[in-house]
Amino acid sequence: MHFETLAVHAGGEPDAATGAIAPPIHMATTFRHGPAGERVAGFEYVREGNPTQERLEIALAALEQGAAALAFGSGMAAIAALLESLPAGATLLIPSDCYTGLRVLATEFLPRCSILVQRVDTTDLEAVEAAFAAGAAAIWLETPSNPLLQVTDIAAVVDSARRHDARVFCDNTFATPVLQQPLALGADVVMHSTTKYFGGHSDVMGGALVFARRDAGFEQVAHRRHVTGGVLAPFNAWLTLRGLRSLPARMHWHCANARSIAEFLERHPRIASVNYPGLVSHAGHAVAQRQMRDFGAMLSFRVAGGRAAALAVAGRLKLIHNATSLGGCETLIEHRASVEGPNPVSPQDLLRLSVGLEHRDDLIADISQALDG
Ligand code: PLP
């Protein structure tokens, strides 16, 4: 079955009781059971699972070619549940460029669980191999990365990890399974902030983990979610399910828009550099071409003239909003260094763009007037 068809139908069986084509939203927190706790229809209490969330998990597992999925209340809840399940004393490798939330979790919170964290340039395969040889138990990949759009060769990292009995986790938020399927390349677990492209409309928060195997690692994280309660609310599961039906169609338009904008920016004299894996000039272009079906709709660029010039450009935009997050219909721009908390790591002249679904000519006209000042 083609991916587009799967996205429309996965987890979408018509309701058995009514024949409704759109799935019902089950808001129940508890489900009837027998006198000795015997389950009647598979469910017990909402913190463990519910029918609407189960539909979403079936769909997510199908789209990522995984064996099982777990939905969470946010992307960060998903990341925390997975990483805090690592055994005490384990070393986790995280990318030198990654989402701020992961960086903060890894530096402030994981050490409290006696999980050691080491940063590594995941695009440098020799550095990755050396870190595995030194005993790292797992690696976190984010490709393309946030906000520098670095591309890591997933299959090559998996190859190295296998030789050292290490696990590979991959944040696939920027690419989505429409463009890239890390489990098919050998990764063990895929993570999504479904707040972004899956939801697709900037109106629902969620996160997910998709596991290559329904093994002890899966059971451990499912148990952790059940006990610590980072589960997704039924209404949010329903909205996310609704969003993912149109994910492939949206991604094709998103990507075409982003490519046009990246090419426009690369030619503009006030732009110092553009980070977009679809550009031939991008360091990870060849790897991206191999492991992605298209290059995504996230890009970042450095403005000639430093921080003040970058902020001035962001401030002159009229159609494009200054706002955090990504993956919605509307194009958003953000000066990452300003929102990264007390120790920003992004370059001060860097702006990140989440390219939306408007017409590309309108977007380019807005960026053009903002750059020309
Ligand atoms: N991963 C990436 C790449 C992100 O950009 C984000 C949020 O921006 C997250 C994870 C965290 O997801 P959430 O905001 O849903 O907790």
Q: What is the DSSP string of 38-87?
A: -BSSS--BTTT--HHHHHHHHHHHHHTT-SEEEEESSHHHHHHHHHTTSP
Domain limits for position 118:
3-243
pLDDT of the residue at 343: 86
Query: Do 111 and 180 fall into the same domain?
Result: yes
pTM (predicted TM-score)? 0.98
Residue minimizing CA distance to atom 13 of ligand 1: 75
- For 95, the enclosing helix (H) or strand (E) is strand 91-95
pLDDT of the residue at 21: 97
The Cα–Cα gap between 297 and 252 comes to 9
Query: Do 238 and 261 fall into the same domain?
Result: no
**Ligand 1 contact via 145 beta carbon (within 6 Å):** no
Share of the chain above pLDDT 90, in %: 98
* Strands, E assignment, 215-297: 271-275
**Ligand 1 contact via 146 beta carbon (within 6 Å):** yes
For residue 324, give the DSSP letter.
S
The amino acid at residue 43 is: F
Structure confidence by residue, pLDDT tens digits, 88-135: 999 999 999 999 999 999 999 999 999 999 999 999 999 999 999 999
The Cα–Cα gap between 321 and 331 comes to 7
CATH number at residue 91: 3.40.640.10
Query: Do 122 and 138 fall into the same domain?
Result: yes
CATH number at residue 352: 3.90.1150.10
Structure confidence by residue, pLDDT tens digits, 24-42: 999 999 999 999 999 999 9
The Cα–Cα gap between 276 and 295 comes to 8
Query: Do 206 and 300 fall into the same domain?
Result: no
Position 245 pLDDT exceeds 90: yes
Average pLDDT over the chain, rounded to whole?
A: 97
pLDDT of the residue at 342: 84
Tell me the best of 79, 122, 140, 195 to mutate to test the pocket of ligand 1, counting ligand atoms within 8 Å of each CB and taking the most: 195
Is 243 in contact with 110 (CB distance < 8 Å)?
no
Reported confidence tier of residue 341, pLDDT bands at 50, 70, 90: confident
